[in-house]
Amino acid sequence: MLNAANTMKKRPRTDKPVFRGLDHERRSCTAKKRFSNPGAARTHAAYLRSAYPDTPPMTEYGCEFCGGWHLAKSH
């Protein structure tokens, strides 16, 4: 299970990249769980796969909006 130490707060909006639309930010950042490092994201992905075997494979990625790490489905 994940603890609060593996999640992180959002960076100030002034550090954000070029604006591409709020929908893009929602889909890639704000609607997802944020992790402090790629290892924490991988650990959570492994937990999801063990708890829910039908979960598709996931990969971690560095977020350009918040500076944290999120999980995305691997295709």
Q: Residue 54 in contact with residue 27, Cβ under 8 Å?
A: no
Percent of the chain topping pLDDT 70? 69
30-58: pLDDT as tens digits: 889 999 999 999 999 999 999 999 989 99
The pLDDT of residue 21: 64
The pLDDT of residue 15: 56
Which candidate, 3, 73, 6, 66, places its Cα nearest to that of 41?
A: 6
Place of tokens 């979960």: 55
Domain ranges in the chain are 20-73
Which candidate, 30, 24, 34, places its Cα nearest to that of 2?
A: 34
